Amino acid sequence: MSPEQNKSIVLRFYKSFDESQIDQALNLLSPNFTAHLGRVSTPLNKEEFKEFGMKFYLAFSQSQHRFDEVIVSGDKVVTCGIFTAIHTAEFQGLPATGKQVNLAIMHIDRLENGKIIEHWGYGDALGLMQQLGVMFLPSPTLFPAILKNLSFKFLKKFG
C-alpha cells in the first residue's frame, strides 16, 4: 500500500471511533494486531485493546481526535494532536463529572496489507485525571524534602 493509502486508513480508524462506528474501526485492525500503550506494562492483543478502548469509549461521549501533525513514513503513520470528549459515565472508579477534557495524544500506527497491525499510543493520563478533578499528593517519602525546600524559601524571604 502507498503511504497515502496508509494515512487514509489510519485517519479512518480514528474518525470511525469519533463517529461511534466501533465495529468499523475494529475492522481496520489486523487479526495479529498488537498495541503498546504508555503506562501499560505489557502489549495488548486485538481483544485486549478493544476492551481497553471500550472502557474509554463508554466513559466519554462526543469524542473527537484533532491531529495537528500527521507524518507518514513507509508503513508507519504518526499522529499527534488533541483528543476532546465529555466525561459522561464512570471511568476507573470516578463517577461522571460532565466535564469536557482535552487530552494531548501521540500515536504511531504500523500497517500491513491494508490493516493496522501495530499501535504505539500515548495520552497525557495525568492531565486527564487533573481535568476530572483528581488531586495527586506527594508520597510520604517526599515530605522531608518538601519541608526543607519550604523552610529555605521562608528563611530566604523573611530571615
67-80 per-position pLDDT tens digit:
999 999 999 999 99
Grid coordinates belonging to 99: 466535564
How would you classify the pairing of strands 29-37 and 115-123?
A: parallel
Residue 58 phi/psi, 5° resolution?
-75, -25
Where in the chain are the domains? 3-158
Q: Is 37 helix (H, G, I), strand (E, B) or coil?
A: strand
Give the pLDDT score at 135.
Answer: 79
Q: How would you class 25 by CB atoms within 10 Å of its CB: exposed for 0-12, middle for 13-18, buried for 19 or more?
A: buried
Distance, in Å, from the CA atom of 133 to the CA atom of 99, rounded to the nearest integer, reads: 9
Average pLDDT (129-137) is 86
Report, at the CATH architecture level, how domain 3-158 is classified. Roll (3.10)
Distance, in Å, from the CA atom of 97 to the CA atom of 87, rounded to the nearest integer, reads: 6
Give the pLDDT score at 140.
Answer: 80
Distance, in Å, from the CA atom of 155 to the CA atom of 152, rounded to the nearest integer, reads: 5
Distance, in Å, from the CA atom of 112 to the CA atom of 117, rounded to the nearest integer, reads: 6
Distance, in Å, from the CA atom of 33 to the CA atom of 110, rounded to the nearest integer, reads: 10
Distance, in Å, from the CA atom of 57 to the CA atom of 55, rounded to the nearest integer, reads: 6
Give the pLDDT score at 81.
Answer: 98
135-158 per-position pLDDT tens digit:
777 778 877 877 787 787 878 788
Query: Which residue is associated with the grid cell 481526535?
Result: 65
Buried-exposed string 81-106: b where 16+ CB fall within 10 A, e elsewhere: bebbbbbeeebeeeeeeeeebebebb
